C-alpha cells in the first residue's frame, strides 16, 4: 500500500495523459465518462460522482462493424480504443465490477475479438465513491477486481491510500515514488445472495402494469451486453458488411423469431427475465450477481421502477 497526497491526485492524472488515453467522469451538462484532454485534470474537471451513463460503450460500442467484404476480399474489423495507446479508466467500484462481469461473458471462449482487443488495452483504476440516492452496491456482493485502487480513508486524512493489485497498476505509479504505508483499505463484506423461487405471479403482473418497455434501464446498465446483428450490401453486390448494435430484453421484438412468434410478449415476462438475469441466472453460472448496484436503471426509468424493491418482494 502507498500514500498519495490528495492535492496531487489531479497532477497524477495529468501525468498519465501524455502516455495513455485517460477516461474519467467529467462534469459537463451532466457527469459523463470521456477521454480527457491535456490540462483538464489540473483544471478540476474530474469528479468522483458516478455518471448516469456507464463506460460500457468504450468496450462495447452502441453500434460497430465487425465483418465485411469488398469484392473478393474479407475484412475483419477488430478495433482498438484510441490511437494505439493503452487506456486508463478512472471508475467507481460498481463500474469496475461491471467491466469484470462483462469480462466473464465476452472473454468466455470463444472470446469476442473486438471486446478482447479493447480489454487487453484497458487499465482499471477504482476511485473513491460519492454515494448517490440511487446507489445500492453494498447489497449485491461487489469484489476487488481493479488494477489500481485509490481509497479515501476520510476527511481527517490528507492522503489517499493506493493499492496496486496488478502489474498494470504498478506500472502507473512506478515513477511517483510514493511513500509506503501499513494502513489498510476498509472492505465492506458482501451480502449473501438468495435464490428466486418459481411463481411470484403477482410481482410480474405489477411489473408489467408499470413498465413502458422503453429500454432506458438496459441502455444505462453497465452489465447489459445483449445485441442484435444486422447487415447491408451495396447494390453492386461487391461490397457489404455486418454490424452489431445494442438490443434490450425489455423490447417486444427482442425474442421475435422467424414466423413472427414472440416468446416474451407481455411486459411482465420481460421484467421477470431481466431480474432473473441480474440476480439468478448469471450467478448460477459465474458466481456473482450480474447487477452491480449502481441504480442507474432506477434513475433512468420514466416511472421510477426500482429493481431492488422488486427483488425484495420476490419469494
| Exposed e or buried b per residue across 31-54, where buried means at least 16 C-beta atoms within 10 angstroms of its C-beta | bebbbbeeebbeeebbebebbbeb
Q: What is the pLDDT of residue 33?
A: 97
- What is the tens place of the pLDDT at every residue in 4-43? 999 999 999 999 998 999 999 998 889 999 999 999 999 9
315 pLDDT exceeds 90? no
With 0-12 CB in 10 A as exposed, 13-18 as middle and 19+ as buried, what is 198?
A: exposed
Q: What is the pLDDT of residue 66?
A: 80
- What is the tens place of the pLDDT at every residue in 80-126? 445 578 999 999 999 999 999 999 999 999 999 889 989 999 999 99
Q: Residue 277 carries which DSSP code?
A: I
Task: Give the C-alpha separation, 227 to 278, whole Å.
Answer: 17
Question: What number is the average pLDDT over the span 184-210?
Answer: 84
pTM: 0.91
Instruction: Please count the other Cβ atoms lying within 10 Å of the Cβ belonging to residue 245.
Output: 13
Q: What is the pLDDT of residue 78?
A: 60
- What is the tens place of the pLDDT at every residue in 215-255? 999 999 999 999 999 888 888 888 888 899 999 999 999 99
Task: Give the C-alpha separation, 226 to 272, whole Å.
Answer: 16
Supply 232's cell numbers. 447491408
With 0-12 CB in 10 A as exposed, 13-18 as middle and 19+ as buried, what is 310?
A: buried
Q: What is the pLDDT of residue 93?
A: 95
Helix, strand or coil for residue 192? coil
Question: What number is the average pLDDT over the span 267-284?
Answer: 94
Higher pLDDT, 184 or 284: 284
| Domain residue ranges in the chain | 2-59+78-180, 201-313
Q: What is the pLDDT of residue 12?
A: 96
> What mean pLDDT value characterizes the chain?
91
Name, in order, each residue with C-beta under 8 angstroms of 285's C-beta and a sequence gap of 6 or more.
none
Name, in order, each residue with C-beta under 8 angstroms of 176's C-beta and a sequence gap of 6 or more.
2, 4, 12
Amino acid at each position: 500500500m502507498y500514500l498519495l497526497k490528495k492535492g496531487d491526485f489531479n497532477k497524477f492524472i495529468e501525468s498519465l495523459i501524455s502516455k495513455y488515453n485517460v477516461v474519467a467522469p467529467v462534469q459537463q451538462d451532466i457527469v459523463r465518462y470521456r477521454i480527457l484532454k491535456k490540462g483538464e485534470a489540473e483544471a478540476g474537471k474530474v469528479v468522483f460522482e458516478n455518471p448516469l451513463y456507464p463506460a460500457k460503450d468504450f468496450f462495447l460500442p452502441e453500434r460497430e462493424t465487425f465483418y465485411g467484404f469488398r469484392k473478393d476480399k474479407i475484412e475483419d474489423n477488430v478495433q482498438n480504443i484510441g490511437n494505439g495507446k493503452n487506456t486508463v479508466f478512472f471508475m467507481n467500484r460498481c463500474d469496475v465490477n461491471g467491466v469484470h462481469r462483462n469480462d466473464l461473458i465476452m472473454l468466455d471462449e470463444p472470446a469476442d475479438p473486438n471486446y478482447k482487443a479493447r480489454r487487453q488495452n484497458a487499465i482499471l483504476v477504482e476511485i473513491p465513491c460519492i454515494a448517490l440516492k440511487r446507489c445500492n452496491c453494498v447489497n449485491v456482493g461487489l469484489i476487488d477486481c481493479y488494477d489500481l485502487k485509490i481509497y479515501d480513508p476520510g476527511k481527517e486524512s490528507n492522503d489517499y491510500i493506493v493499492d496496486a493489485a496488478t502489474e498494470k497498476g504498478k506500472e502507473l505509479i512506478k515513477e511517483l515514488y510514493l511513500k509506503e504505508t501499513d494502513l489498510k483499505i476498509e472492505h465492506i463484506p458482501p451480502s449473501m445472495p438468495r435464490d428466486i423461487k418459481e411463481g411470484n405471479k403477482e410481482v410480474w403482473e405489477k411489473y408489467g402494469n408499470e413498465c413502458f418497455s422503453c429500454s432506458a434501464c438496459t441502455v444505462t446498465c453497465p452489465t447489459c451486453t445483449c445485441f442484435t446483428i444486422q447487415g447491408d450490401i451495396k447494390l453492386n453486390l461487391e461490397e457489404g458488411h455486418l454490424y452489431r448494435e445494442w438490443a434490450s430484453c425489455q423490447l417486444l421484438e427482442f425474442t421475435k423469431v422467424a414466423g413472427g412468434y414472440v416468446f416474451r410478449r407481455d411486459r411482465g415476462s420481460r421484467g421477470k427475465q431481466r431480474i432473473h438475469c441480474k440476480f439468478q441466472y448469471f450467478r448460477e453460472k459465474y458466481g456473482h450477481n450480474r447487477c452491480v448496484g449502481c441504480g442507474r436503471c432506477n434513475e433512468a426509468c420514466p416511472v421510477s421502477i426500482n429493481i431492488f424493491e422488486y427483488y425484495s418482494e420476490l419469494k
